[in-house]
């Protein structure tokens, strides 16, 4: 039996992070049997670090922190002021991550999470790499791993595939930066679900599991047997976090960016329970 920490994105439960919302998300995840909750920190200032950490410890749950940069804080830009604002957001998110006791911070942190109207440029890419190198060094000083989540073409013009992410990692040159693979995005951009995982090998450090329509696992077009098989093949032992979004739980900062227009589920507990069983079964198969 694989021992990957199994996680769930907070937006399965709540659209914000008031202490009341945090208590619902953390206690519900722990009760169902998850090991980890992923807390979105698009606005790091809305997370109360002290109470969040207390709740996580009380419920015996690990945490990871994720975010996507906004067009106004894009480090994949030629605008130096914009790049500097992005650096500030990343450093604030790292402070939150450290404060809640997370050892992982990832997401679309190499640039804005948005639909770009043009390809990236050499200068914008170089700005992103330079900030990421500084950020990785800062993260290392507090024992934090940085994950780069490559996403589909409508959400980034910089990293859409595993290979692009590995090439970017080589430019950054810091060993606490890993590839974050999300099967939802792989379904759109990759040739299959096995090759990119083998290409990443031990540089894969975080995984998102999501269905092609972002709803119940196993009801869309993602080839999960192939994907879980590839994770087993490379001996992946890191976190695997379930991500799903519905218009029944809305985060104003995140849901519109991800184009969550439809109601794919309304019962968070049923969804989360099914997903945990689905992941365990997928990892256990021969
Ligand atoms: Mn994801």
Q: Which residues contact 214 (CB under 8 A, 6 or more apart)?
A: 184, 243, 244, 245, 246, 258, 260, 264
Q: Which residue segment(s) compose the domain that 191 sits in?
A: 6-284
149 is a catalytic site residue: yes
Cβ-contact 150, 109 below 8 angstroms: no
Quick check: is 167 in a domain?
A: yes
Q: Is 189 a catalytic residue?
A: no
Q: What is the CATH number of the domain that holds 189?
A: 3.20.20.150
Does residue 238 sit within a domain?
Answer: yes
Q: What is the pTM of this model?
A: 0.97
Residues of the chain predicted below pLDDT 50: none
Instruction: Evaluate whether residue 231 is within a structural domain.
Output: yes
Predicted pLDDT at 2: 57
Enclosing H/E stretch for 216: none
Q: pLDDT (tens digit, 9 = 90+) per residue, 202-259? A: 999 999 999 999 999 999 999 999 999 999 999 999 999 999 999 888 888 888 889 8
23 contact partners, CB below 8 Å, separation of at least 6: 55
Please state the φ and ψ torsions of residue 237, each to the nearest 5 degrees: -120, 5
In a domain, 212, yes or no: yes
1 within a domain of the structure (yes/no):
no
Q: How many domains does the chain have?
A: 1
Distance 143 CA to ligand 1 centre (A): 23
Residue from 38, 155, 211, 243 carrying the catalytic annotation = 243
Ranges of beta strands (E only) in the chain are: 6-9, 36-40, 62-69, 104-112, 145-149, 177-182, 204-209, 240-242
**Quick one: tokens of 256?**
């519109």
| The pLDDT value given to residue 120 | 98
Residue 257 lies in a domain: yes
* Distances in whole angstroms, Cα of residue 278 to Cα of each of 9, 185, 284: 16, 19, 10
109-122 pLDDT per residue, tens? 999 999 999 999 99
- Report the separation in Å between the CA atom of 67 and the middle of ligand 1, taken as the mean of its atom positions: 10
The three-state secondary structure class of 133 is: helix
Residue 274 lies in a domain: yes
Place of tokens 């093949």: 233
pLDDT for 250 equals 87
Tokens of 124: 């914008």
d(CA 182, ligand 1 centre) in Å: 5
Contact 162, 196 (CB under 8 A): yes
Q: Specify if 199 maps to a domain.
A: yes
Task: State residue 252's pLDDT score.
Answer: 83
Active-site pick, 38, 149, 155, 211: 149
State the distance from the centre of ligand 1 to the C-alpha of 285, rounded, in angstroms.
24
């Amino acid at each position: 039996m694989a021992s990957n920490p199994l996680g769930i994105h907070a937006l399965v439960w709540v659209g914000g992070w008031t202490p009341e919302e945090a208590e619902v998300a953390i206690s519900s995840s722990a009760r169902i049997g998850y090991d980890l909750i992923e807390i979105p920190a698009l606005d790091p200032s809305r997370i109360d670090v002290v109470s969040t950490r207390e709740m996580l410890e009380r419920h015996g749950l690990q945490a990871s922190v994720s975010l996507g940069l906004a067009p106004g804080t894009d480090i994949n830009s030629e605008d130096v002021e914009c790049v500097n604002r992005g650096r500030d957001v990343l450093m604030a998110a790292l402070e939150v991550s450290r404060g809640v006791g997370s050892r992982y911070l990832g997401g679309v942190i190499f640039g804005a999470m948005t639909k770009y109207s043009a390809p990236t440029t050499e200068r914008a890419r170089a700005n992103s790499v330079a900030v990421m190198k500084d950020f990785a060094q800062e993260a290392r000083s507090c024992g934090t791993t940085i994950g780069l989540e490559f996403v589909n073409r409508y959400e980034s013009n910089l990293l859409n595939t595993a290979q692009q992410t590995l090439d970017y990692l080589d430019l950054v040159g810091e060993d606490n930066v890993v590839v974050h693979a999300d099967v939802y995005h792989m379904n759109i951009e990759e040739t299959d679900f096995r090759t990119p995982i083998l290409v990443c090998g031990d540089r894969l450090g975080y995984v998102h599991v999501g269905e092609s329509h972002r709803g119940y696992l196993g009801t869309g077009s993602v080839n999960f047997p192939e994907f879980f098989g590839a994770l087993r093949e490379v001996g992946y032992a890191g976190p695997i976090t379930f991500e799903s979004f519905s218009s029944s739980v809305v985060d104003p900062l995140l849901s519109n960016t991800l184009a969550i227009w439809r109601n794919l589920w309304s019962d968070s507990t049923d969804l989360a329970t099914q997903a945990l069983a689905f992941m365990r079964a997928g990892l256990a198969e021969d």
